[in-house]
Structure 1
Amino acid sequence: MTARTRYRDALAIGEFRAVFAAHVLSMLGMIVAQFATSVLVYQSTGSPLLTTLVFALAFTPHLFAGTVFSALVDRMPVRRLLVTCNLTTATLAATMAIPGMPVWALLALVFGIGLVGPIFSGARAATLPEILPGPAYIPGRSLFRLVSQGAQVAGLALGGLLLAAVTASTALLMEAGAFVVSAALLRFATKERPPRAKAGSLLRDSLGGLRAVLAVPALRRVLLLGWVIPSLALFPEALANPYAHEQGFSTVQLGLMMAVLPLGNILAEFIGMWGLDVEHQVSRIASLAALVFVPLLGYALRPGFIATLAILFCSGLGFAHHLGLDRLLLDVAPEHLRSRALALQTAGLMFWQGLGFAVAGALAQFIPITALVPATAAIGLAAVAGLRPGYAAAR
């Protein structure tokens, strides 16, 4: 039986510690920047629609930028690309802090930051297997997910505390500083790695790489499964507010509903990392992915508050399937396509989750939530059955 991997396997590597610290800073910075910008927009317009556009514009560029600019991860030295992305984001965030900035300009700058994000994430994902060879890779990826989940809560709380003490513009300047520190960590504490590809048409190279990745059947199935599960599983989260209103839940109860799913995700990462070796992480992908959706069928019974918390928490536990998917993607991706596949995985995940939020809201205008969530859960179970990794790996 293969040995279990541990978080200390990743944290023992100095270069990873620098990349991880930079990730924590940039993740918190991104969330606080979005929060502060939404406050600026609302203060200027009083429009809830324009305020929500701040978050929508942060998601929508991911597939476009991750596709069109994906070749950059092979054509530029990775450290230079990462540092450039962080400094560009810092510059855009600082520009947003200029007093009197028109709303259209603020939204355009948010879109610009959204374009930079997938390039940065794709480049970091592509180089992570080189920083974390062998068994250290899975716990490293897990730590990034734990930070992403925790930062959603901590970043919003930090944003609220900051804006209680300083203006939104000052908060944006502080977060621009966080991106500069992140860039410095990457510049001085990581190795430079030469580009893997020669210069040429960036668009042609990017689209060619996309076609090559999706032309590999096993790899295509792994990517699709990794995108379909979270984009369907987020429906209860996207519809938490209207469901809480329908059921008469208090604001405090709504907050607990929003927190319990990421809590289940975090606990699942720990349990999967400490309780399963690599072989079993891969072999249990399908069963854990099914666990994401089976509890959500309970929405058909119009669950009360405690039952809803239990449903969401159990669904969150199924996200331990990510551990096995990470390993499987490395196994099925040809060496020359690995960096493109990792970049596409990250960009696609963000895009499809953003689209999932939009679709959930649109469908809820016509379909009761107690019917919509079970229906999407059933679709999710069908997708898991059709894209089950055992079949994908065998191709």
Structure 2
Amino acid sequence: MPAPPQHAPSTGYSTVFAIPEFRAVFAAHALSLLGVIISEISLSVLVYDLTGSPLISALTFALGFLPYAVGGTLLAGMADRFPARRVLVTCDLLCAACVAPMVIPGTHIAVLLALRCCLALVSPVFQGTRTATLADILGDGDRFVLGRSLLRIVSQSALMIGYGLGGLLLIAVSPRHALLITVTTFCASAALLRYGTHHRPPRSRTAAPLMSDSLKGARQVLANPRTRALLLLFWLPPMFAVTPEALAAPYAHDLSAGSVALGLLMCALPIGTIAGELYAGSRLRPATRERIALPLVTVTLLPYLGYALHPGLAVSLLLLLVSGAGSAYTLGLDQWFVRAVPEELRGRAMTLLTAGLMTVQGLGMALAGVAAEYAGVAATVAGAGALGTLTCVVLAVQARATERRDGADHHVTGR
């Protein structure tokens, strides 16, 4: 089935849902995300039950971030050298196969953690391939941007709802039984992608070893000034943006607030992000989204400076909502990035983007915790706002310079 025209007109999210293949990808995303959330909660509880160690339980979550860089760098070539549908289905089935042994009573803790690492190795390949496939399904124009936005909205919504539902689920069933649900969701996602999307040939044909091909693609993407500037704009602002979420629990304690306040502090940023994306995607024209992307990214972290005044709960929530809404700049970046990367590199570029984003967010959370030990929570969040804003300004200037020098349609050489 041919892809839609590259610059097909779009009238909003409804045009994206009108495409059957996207509906299959959207449903598969929701199912696999549900499985990931249930597995993270269940595995963390299971590990704590087995060891009684908060450190090892927390390590289970950390292992969801750390292997992203390895998988996204060394395995990225899979996204381009094999048919996309085959890669997606295989990744889902591999994830199901990794979770299935966790259900077996008596599985050693080392095996559980190793399987958790395997899940994280597969994830960036799956996500990068899926993003590249969106451009095949929707074209690389506005519908691609809106499709990406919808997947992010689902992810943000899952962060707010999924962990609460997962906690309730563990009241009714044991962690091992809950993990069976994860196996089911991964298998259902694989079936949706297998029978709901079309076969497409590989984007790149090469006999080079997988890791060499993956590293070559990463070098090609990072060596180009335009795509490198855009990648940094995707990666670095979120590294600072996660600071209030990473420190929500100690800040709620500083405010002498209860668990309800903690929940609100954790939800405020995702709610703002969803609201900003929905408004930009449904009310702003594509050209407007691109025009405001760089100005918006330079101010999105400014609300964090308000933490320097040690605000109460209501003001803190407002600051986080406003900052989250500023994340709508990503819609403009999505359009520029898919336009800047040639088709034969698209899968590797999207996998690199995903791996880098997850890695720097994990790093940002760790650095926030270290800084808060010495400077306190409020000062750390305000400092993240100041340093993050300065970083965003520098990155925006670099991105504007590459746009002026190379043009908005600049492409990486595929050689």
TM-score (ref. length: structure 1): 0.97
Q: Distance in 2 between matches of 1:368 and 1:51?
A: 25
The residue aligned with 1:345 is 353
Residues 10-69 of structure 1: per-residue CA shift (max 9 Å, x gap):
111111110110000000100111100011011111211111111100111111100000
Residue 172 of structure 2 is aligned to residue 165 of structure 1: yes
The answer on 1:136 being equivalent to 2:143 is: yes
Whole-angstrom distance in 1 between the partners of 2:142 and 2:323: 27
CA distance in 2, matches of 1:5, 1:315: 27
1:110 to 2:120 alignment = no
How far apart are the structure 1 equivalents of 2:368 and 2:104? Answer: 35
Alignment of 1:49-88 (within 5 A): 49-88=55-94
In structure 2, the residue matched to 1:293 is 301
Matches within 5 A, 1:4-15: 5-15=11-21
Equivalent residue, structure 2, for 1:44: 50
Instruction: Give the structure 2 partner of residue 390 of structure 1.
Output: 400
* Alignment-derived partner of residue 213 in structure 1: 221
Aligned-pair CA distance for 1:4:
5.8
Note if contact 1:67-1:206 (Cα within 8 Å) is conserved in structure 2: yes
Structure 1 residue 391: deviation in Å? 2.5
Could you give the per-residue CA deviations for residues 305-363 of structure 1, whole angstroms, max 9, x where no partner exists? 11111111111110111111101112222343333222211111111111111111122
Are 2:161 and 1:151 aligned? Answer: no
- 1:100 aligns to what SS in structure 2? coil
Provide the aligned length of Structure 1 versus Structure 2.
Answer: 394
Q: Deviations over 1:135-170 (max 9, x none)?
A: 311110000000100111222122122211111111
**What residue is the counterpart of 1:307 in the other structure?**
315
Q: Does the 8 A contact of 1:72 with 1:202 survive in 2?
A: yes
For residues 5 and 325 of structure 1, the distance between their equivalents in structure 2, rounded to whole angstroms, comes to 19
Q: Is 1:188 the equivalent of 2:195?
A: yes
Match of 1:174 in 2: 181
1:392 is matched by which residue type in structure 2?
Answer: T
Q: Distance in 2 between matches of 1:209 and 1:252?
A: 46
Other-structure match for 1:333:
341
CA RMSD of aligned residues (A): 1.4
When structure 1 is superposed on structure 2, of 240-249 and 85-94 the one drifting more is: 240-249
Aligned pair in 2 of structure 1 residues 142, 364: CA closer, same or farther (>3 Å)? same
Local SS of the residue matching 2:104: coil
User: Is 1:356 matched with 2:364?
Assistant: yes
Q: Return 312-321 or 193-202, whichever deviates more.
A: 193-202
Q: Deviations over 1:353-388 (max 9, x none)?
A: 111111111221122222222222112111221111
Matched with 2:256 is 248
CA contact (8 A) 1:89 1:179 kept: yes
Equivalent residue letter for 1:179: F
Tell me which residue corresponds to 1:278.
286
Whether contact under 8 Å (1:26, 1:182) holds in the other structure is: yes
How many angstroms apart in 2 are the aligned matches of 1:7 and 1:379?
Answer: 35
Give the Cα separation in 2 of the matches to 1:391 and 1:375. Answer: 27
In structure 1, the residue matched to 2:34 is 28
Question: What is the one-letter code of the residue matched to 1:140?
Answer: G
Letter in 2 for 1:393: E
Moved over 6 A (4+): none
Residue type at the aligned position of 1:192: H
User: Contact (CA 8 Å) 2:160, 2:270: kept in 1 or not?
Assistant: no
Confirm or deny: 8 A CA contact 2:227 2:341 kept in the other structure: yes
| Consecutive unaligned residues in structure 2, runs of 5 or more | 1-7, 406-415
Alignment of 1:231 onto 2:239: yes
Distance 1:3 1:18, change over 3 A: closer
Does 1:17 pair with 2:23?
Answer: yes
TM-score, normalisation: structure 2: 0.92
Whether the 8 Å CA contact 2:77–2:347 is kept in 1: the answer is no
Q: Which moved more, 1:256-265 or 1:195-204?
A: 195-204
Cα deviation, residue 246, structure 1: 1.6
Q: How many Å apart are 1:209 and its aligned residue?
A: 0.7
Q: Is the 8 A contact 1:75 1:199 kept in 2?
A: no
Q: Is the 8 A contact 2:80 2:345 kept in 1?
A: no
Q: What secondary structure does 1:59 align onto?
A: coil
Contact 2:68–2:124 under 8 Å retained in 1: yes
Which moves more between the two structures, 197-206 or 316-325? 197-206
Separation in 2, partners of 1:100, 1:52: 21
